[in-house]
Amino acid sequence: MSIYILILLLSVYLLFIIIVSVNIRINYHLKAYNRIKNYDLNHISITFDDGPNLDYTPKVLNLLKKYNAKATFFCIGKNIKSNPSLIKKIIDDGHTIGNHTYTHSNLIGFFNKKRILEEIDETNKKIFKITNKNMRLFRPPYGITNPMIAKAIKETGHKAIGWNIRTYDTIIKNPNIIFHIISRKIRPGSIILLHDKSNTTIQLLEMILIFLKKNNYKSITIDKLFNLNAYA
């Protein structure tokens, strides 16, 4: 076999690994809950990553309350530490909180199992200190999965939560464009990914909530959608 064929095969393999590692919906390295197919109830789940955020999470909570919707918040440990009152408010309003690691590092894909366990454990401890709840839902930063992350959550007992509708609300600044794209994708059992850290998301969220109300959808928490235990 020539060196060129070896290089080609290696390149194809590396491309494959990259694709399956950055797309949690493929379920290659681990099983993630991304949506429910053929769901016979008009229920969906709205989820928020990267909070809590002092400027935007309260606005999100107000909108959810206004439209009688429940959501799941995947929170970053260092943000939990600086916003304990928001964590209490999220819980008091009937929403669910999940683990989104402590630092949300963009190098998460290169961490060893020990480092990932530390990220998860420290975040769980911060929530437990505030709420006396031990989180069991986990969403990896950027939806990245690999063997180390799979081994870590197998050890901790966390359930990996993905999505099937990504809004790109941290990239696209026009909420009307995002809504036009995603509204056609909403189906019973869908999971929508948002981030509670921008005005774009606030505007988009209200559009989504109005759409759900008009089409007789109900947003419920991830644990209710999949009948999972959110806390140990």
Q: What 3 state SS string does the chain have? A: CCHHHHHHHHHHHHHHHHHHHHCHHHCCCCCEECCCCCCCCCEEEEEEECCCCCCCHHHHHHHHHHCCCCEEEEECHHHHHHCHHHHHHHHHCCCEEEECCCCCCCCHHHCCHHHHHHHHHHHHHHHHHHHCCCECEECCHHHCCCHHHHHHHHHHCCEEECCCEECCCCCCCCHHHHHHHHCCCCCCCCEEEEECCCHHHHHHHHHHHHHHHHCCCEECCHHHHHCCCCEC
93 is catalytic: no
95 is catalytic: no
Catalytic residue among 49, 50, 196, 223: 49
Catalytic residue among 29, 104, 195, 223: 195
Catalytic sites, residue numbers: 49, 195
